[in-house]
Chain A
């Protein structure tokens, strides 16, 4: 596998011919090797222009782009581009080529032999979770999500260390988009490319970026940093308003249940005395009690429903509505809590074992 390359923009500036204002204004930015940097901002902020200056589809007016310390302007332009994967909005797949031929584009330009190219194409199709029967089809026969995956496979074909993605998911519906985003993160965990992605969608930037780079109209850098940091401390009123409402919730979407230590909660074993259950409820200042059998949490009873009984049994037990795993985001956990009558989310591990409870005050502590 290729070694990842760092990208460094130094005083990068673009003024389009005939335009009074700058499209990109003396931008300094470093994307460390193996990281995803997301350029985000309103239209006219120069995010796409910046991206295209990396593979020289647009030549800068002044300033430099360095890839692994080497100025991009010194590399022959076709060589440079063959070493940089490029994914665009409407996929830009060649309609007259089959899926296999589309993916093989750069290997063919590089003069790979047929066998090596074919092996690589099959490897990529498997990697992207595409069916091999699609290889002989034309792009028009594919769904939007499949086309986007083929676009990514084509960009990865010659195993470039760098991937540029220009609004890659804006043309697919939200459900497919979410899945493709998850797939990209999964892919990145394995491949460790240096990725620059452009989007106008703040939530996409927060979800995908190791760092988000917020640009303002005229190509001015407002703030760059890890999403959690940017959300916690917006550098300017522009950034704060661009991040929009629900900044606290967006921060919660970056944190996971495993980041907090759930406590055991008001829980008794099946068959415990009602007197003991009342003690536990009092300690936790709640009017319900959870019931456990071994390492499973069966459900819960209202305190009033235990009146007249001697021991806590499973009859008439209520199930917990909000059940989460350590990998659940705190945002999703909070959503579960809001919809539950007990005001807690129950944490179970992948094997269904009870791990504790998350309360709303533990969550709000994390974003305060």
Chain B
């Protein structure tokens, strides 16, 4: 399909402001759908990845198979995975959510484990020597020091998912992808640009927001900390 060529033939201008004015309600609705799907996917993915990370950290041998498993899921093309799931889940929100969750697992698992592994051994030893209980040490020291890496993982996962949600519209998940599909089927450029542009804007906004959050929760890592 070569939409751009077709577009030029049907409409004079690339962007129709009238169309945008007529569709503000729908744009808002699609935005909420996009946000909701992204939020659920990253949230559920984080819970599952954290459980996998805890298992990996407790039993190191489990890490390689868990990472391989989530790596395999990650390598399946998104459209193919939606198609595989639809016969079991039907169209709509569910197949897309399941697929998106699987994409977050590898990124989140790797970042959580790497973050905890990156805690300096002498700090862990000092914490043990001071008399922290193991669970308390894990929460107050290991996990706390792994926070920058973990938020980094959430950031990458979120940006990835925001992009993939767009594809999910093909199986009826809603979100900005609906505009893009609509525009493509009618060879009408405005909804394509609106859908594409807003999903890019949303990805950039979350990238920025999570980068700021990362700095906010790691005051010790700022240059000249506490001076």
Contact = CB atoms under 8 A, between A and B. Distances in A.
A106 interface: yes
A105 to B, nearest CB: 5
B156 interface: no
B130 A138 contact: no
Those 6 A-B pairs whose CB atoms lie nearest each other, nearest first: A92-B126, A81-B131, A86-B129, A137-B226, A82-B131, A92-B122
B103 to A, nearest CB: 30
B220 interface: yes
Contacts of B36: none
B220 A90 contact: no
B226 A136 contact: yes
Interface string A137-156: 11011000000000000100
Interface in A111-154: 136-138, 140-141, 154
Contact of A137 (B122, B126, B129, B227): B227
Contacts of A82: 130-131
B226 A90 contact: no
A98 interface: yes
A86 B130 contact: yes
Contacts of A350: none
Interface centre among A55, A95, A136 (most CB of B within 10 A): A95
A17 B201 CA distance: 56
B116 to A, nearest CB: 14
A179 interface: no
Interface in B173-227: 218-220, 224-227
Contacts, number: 74
A172 to B, nearest CB: 15
Given A94-B123, A94-B141, A141 B227 contact: yes
B98 interface: no
Contacts of B25: none
Contacts of A90: 120, 122
A80 B219 CA distance: 33
A57 B218 contact: no
Per DSSP, are chain A's interface residues mostly helix, strand or loop, or mixed? mixed
B132 interface: yes
Contacts of B145: 95-96
B30 interface: no
B137 to A, nearest CB: 10
Given A96-B145, A140-B225, A141-B227, 13 more contacts: A57-B128, A78-B131, A79-B131, A81-B128, A89-B122, A90-B122, A92-B120, A92-B123, A92-B125, A93-B126, A109-B130, A138-B219, A141-B226
Given A137-B225, A138-B220, A140-B220, A106 B123 contact: no
B121 to A, nearest CB: 9
A106 B127 CA distance: 10
Nearest to A82: B131
A337 to B, nearest CB: 44
Contact of A95 (B129, B220, B227): B220
Contacts of A91: 122, 126
A109 B145 CA distance: 19
A57 B129 CA distance: 7
Nearest to B128: A57
Interface in B25-58: none
Contact of A96 (B132, B218, B227): B218
